[in-house]
Structures are given as structure tokens and as C-alpha cells.
Structure 1
Amino acid sequence: MRLFWRVFWLNALMGVVATVLLMIGPWTVSAPVRLTEAVVLVAGTTTMLAANAALLRWGLAPLDRLTQLMGTIDLLRPGQRLPVTGSGEIAALIATFNQMLARLEAERGLSNARALSAQEDERRRIAQELHDEIGQSLTAVLLDIKRLTDRAPESLRADLRQVQEVTRDSLDEVRTIAHRLRPGVLEDLGLMSALASLTNQFEGLAVRRELDPGLPPLSPQAELVIYRIAQESLTNVARHSGATEAVLELSVDPDPGGAAGGGVTLRVRDNGRGTGGEHEGAGIRGMRERALLIGAGLTIRSEPGQGTEVTLRVRTTEQGDA
């Protein structure tokens, strides 16, 4: 029954009962009103208001839960739904809201997939241009400087060697940036070698790796997501956590979230100061978007002074699809 009719019939019932009692009972309303008559009227009115309040509170409680969920919903944390309780238009509203969330999550996933695919293509293009254009140009400059250094007077050789070192450092930096933009080792040697190489790229941070050699087959997209999230996690540790040590672990998870076929778990933890409940930045939200791209679950646990732990659980099937 719709909430409108519940309230209507309750009020109608209370009115009929009051009318019948006045018709067959000893109660009357005099002018001026007597004390006993006033007590009866106040009691009847109070009873009607209490019944209406109880009905409306019970009937509108699902709307309160819906309002709370609408104020806190985050499409980067999918699966948040309300149980369809109540009846009539309230149950229909909750069911419609749940369906809307499902559509928004699906559309967000498709949009993220297109955006991240375009982002990877752009990274690949920029990395290729850095390697082919700027890298080769700097290499040519280095050769020219070396030739000039061999021919220059002794008084200029020290300055030319300094210029040569600066140019060589610039070339190394360009190669490092190109490597971060496009992890060629991931495509050429696979995920394990790419992660092993990644752990050696952070100066001042000791990264211990624990890589399970018995991983199930993963799709190229899943391997790229795992690598990018590991890269972003370690970059955050090196830049913001103040940590001196970190652990990168990749292991087989026989039952991630109850998914058939098992899966793979990536875990990155450090001994830094933790996030302290800070608002998630663009880097973490980017990791959540990448996790959604392959239907993986991403959790971040951090306590002040106890470091941060990033966990990515990737579901796989026997065919290796993620």
C-alpha cells in the first residue's frame, strides 16, 4: 500500500472511531468546555498524532538511509547498494536508485577504459619521441662535445667536460622518463622482470620484493594495471611517506573475494608516517580507476606512524582472463 493511503486510512479510522464514540458514548462538548471534555479531546488528538508519527517514521526510514547513501556514494568504490525495504513508492525509489548506480558504474567503467587506453597510447607516443628524437639529439651532442674536447686547448677542456657531464645526465634523465612512461621491459620480458626492475629505480628507498614465481596467466591489460599501481604506490612512498623501507609483494590468492579461479594479490607496504586520514589525491584516485578497469579490488590501509599498505586483488579465471 502506498504511503499516502496508509496515512489517509489511518486518519480516516481515527476519525470514524472518534465519531462513533461521540455518538454512542456519554461524551459531549459543552460551551464552555468542561475539564473532562478537554481531557478527552487532548487524549484523542495526542493518540492520533502519535499514530501518524509512528507510521511516518517507519514508512520514511528507508528514505533516510537512501539520503545518507546518496551523500556518501563514491563510484570508485562500486557495489554499494541499499536493501529494497518498505513498500509502494519507497521500495520502487530504492530499487530505481540501485539500478541507476549500476548503470553509472558501468558507464564509469567504460569511460575509464577509454580514457586510460588513450592515456597509455599518449604515454607510448611521448616515450617514443623522447627516445627517438631528444635521446638521439642528445647523443649526437655528446659525440660533438667529445670531438671538440679532444681538439680544444687545455684551458677549455675542463669546461667542455663539465658540459659533457651535464649533457650525459640530461640524456640519462630523458631515458628514465621514457622508461617510466612506457615500461618496455613489461612488454619484452613480462610482469615479474618489470616489477624487479621497478624496485631498483628509487634512490634512498630500500625496496624488498617478494614475487611468487607460480602466478597464473594474466591478460596484458591486467599486467599493465598491476605494474602501474605498483609504480604509483612506490612513487608515493618515495615522495610523501618519509619511509626508508618498502616491500613489494606479488602472490597467488586462491580465493580473492570468493571468485572462482583464484587470483593475484599485489601488496605494497612501507614504514613511513602514514597518511593520517588525509583526503585521497589524484594519484590514489587514478589507482582506483585502474583497478575498476579490470574489476579488481583496491584497499588502502594507513595508520599514523605505522606506514601505509596498498592491496590490489585481481580475479582471474582458468583461462587467465582478468
Structure 2
Amino acid sequence: MVDNVYLLIFYGVLLLFILVASFLLFYIRNQSVVWKQKRQLQETQINQQKELLNAVIDSQEVERKRIGQDLHDEIGGTLSAIKLMLNSLRNQLSEDQEEVMTEAKQLIDKMIVDVRHISHDLSPPGLAVFGLFATIEAFVALINNTGEIKISIVQYESLEELLLPEKTALALFRVLTQLIDNTIKHAQATEITISFKKAALLEIAYQDNGKGFDLEALERRTGIGMQNIQSRLQMINATYQINTSVGKGFRLEIACPFAAE
């Protein structure tokens, strides 16, 4: 009789253990499913946000290209026509009028150059033909010619043959020009250095010698310029790291995947 009681207790404890173990296994499995569903939902949301971001940026680029072409073809052409008309009147003017005419032609020449620069910035014509590096060099040359700031480009190896998808090249061009614009407007810098290095990823380092800023303040309050930079880098699966502090300049390092040659 006593043996039967012990046997019943043993089977009872065993059954209780099996029930507890089954409950734990069910709970763990259920939690795993829940976490998997949450992760899939997060990934879906991220993908949707990325697709929306791509669509917005693509539409912006289409509009930029249209405006750039209109500026170059219509306004630039109109200014050139006005200059020709003024030239045709040269022999019919007095000396005083000739001086005014010369000043007007100089102003038109400046407007033609400005329109060309703006249209090229909106829709860089050489990007698809010559690639990112040649286009950046041409853009930097324009900035250096103003004498407002000195920009140096460093390539640790020849990168002209590096294959970059069109969207990647355009995104990096926009990022670098936005960084240059930010430096000129806000940093009070005299020099900018942009370096390119090909490793497992394309590594780009942008650095200025300006006044820098509080990085924590930037993270709390990001302006439109930095938001555009972050969005474009996210779009091409590039990572970045910012190093800056008050009085010590600004540095941004980018690591971007590229197509195999």
C-alpha cells in the first residue's frame, strides 16, 4: 500500500513536471513567434520607408533635371540672345552709352555663368558620362576659382575605373556638394579636404578646418541639410560617422558599397 502511494506521488510529480515543461516550451515558442512577427513588421516598415524615400528622391531628381535643363536652354539662351542684340547696337552708341553697354554686357556674362553653374548643380551633366570623381573635381574647380575657400581632393589610388551605380554616384555627389555648401555657409572654414579610398567598400572622408559644433546638439536637432545627407546615404546602404567638436572642425567618414569591376 505504501509503495502504491509513493508510486502515485512519483507519477504525479512527473506529470506536473511534464505539464510545467510543456507550458514553458509553449511559452518560449509563442514568444519566439511574437518576436519574429515584430521583427518582420519592423523590417517591412523600414523597407516601406526606404521605398518611399527612394520615390521622393527620384521625383526630386527628375524635377531638378527639368529645372536645370530649362535654366540652361531657355534662360541661358535668352541671355545669350540679349548679348548679341547689344553687340549689334555697338556702332550706334555714344561714348557714354558705350560705357553703359559694356557694363551691361559684363553683367549678362556673369548671369550666363551663374545660370550655367546653377543648372549644372541641379543636373550635373558629366556624372553619367565621366563618373563621380571627374564630376566632383569639376565642381571643386568651380568653387576654388571663386577664391572663397580652398578645396583639396586626395585619391589614394586611381578610381576612374571604379564602377558605381548611377543612383549611388548621384547620391554621393549630392552629399558632397551639400557638405561643401554647409561648410561655406556655417563653418567659417578656409580649407576642405575630400579623400577617396577603395577597400572592401568605397571610403570617403570629408573634413574642414572650421569652427565645428557640439555633436550632441546636432543629434538632438538635425537641420534639413543633414537630414538630406542622412537620407541619401541610407538610400544607397552607406554608413557614416561624424567627428566634430566646438573649435576643432568637422569630419564625416562614409563607407559605401560599390559594384564589382
With the shorter chain as reference, the TM-score category is: 0.7 to 0.9
Q: Secondary structure at the match of 2:203?
A: strand
Q: Percent identity?
A: 21
Q: 2:162 aligns with which of 209, 212, 216?
A: 216
1:128 aligns with 2:69: yes
The aligned counterpart of 1:190 is 131
- How far off its partner does 1:303 sit? 1.0
**TM-score, scaled to structure 2:** 0.80
The aligned counterpart of 1:157 is 98
Cα pair 1:124 1:182 within 8 Å, conserved = yes
Match runs of 1:235-254 below 5 Å: 235-253=181-199
- How far off its partner does 1:297 sit? 0.9
Larger Rg: 1
Describe the superposition over 1:156-180 as per-residue Cα deviations: whole angstroms up to 9, x where unpaired. 1111211111111111111110010
Unmatched 5+ stretches in structure 1: 1-85, 254-261
1:172 & 1:99 partners in 2: Cα distance? 52
Cα pair 1:149 1:161 within 8 Å, conserved = no
- How far off its partner does 1:317 sit? 4.7
Q: Secondary structure at the match of 1:250?
A: strand
Match runs of 1:1-322 below 5 Å: 95-202=36-143, 203=146, 204-211=148-155, 212-214=157-159, 216-253=162-199, 262-276=200-214, 277-278=217-218, 279-318=221-260
Cα pair 2:209 2:249 within 8 Å, conserved = yes
Describe the superposition over 1:232-255 as per-residue Cα deviations: whole angstroms up to 9, x where unpaired. 1111111111110010111112xx
The aligned counterpart of 2:23 is none
Describe the superposition over 1:258-308 as per-residue Cα deviations: whole angstroms up to 9, x where unpaired. xxxx22011110000113233211111111111121111122221111111
- How far off its partner does 1:108 sit? 1.1
Describe the superposition over 1:196-249 as per-residue Cα deviations: whole angstroms up to 9, x where unpaired. 112123231111101231463221111111111111111111111111001011
- How far off its partner does 1:316 sit? 2.9
Residue-pair matches, total:
226
Unmatched 5+ stretches in structure 2: 1-26
1:232 & 1:132 partners in 2: Cα distance? 25
Paired amino acid for 1:275: F
- How far off its partner does 1:96 sit? 4.4
* Greater relative CO (CA pairs within 8 A, separation 6+): 2
| Structure richer in helix, relative to its length | 2
1:305 & 1:93 partners in 2: Cα distance? 49
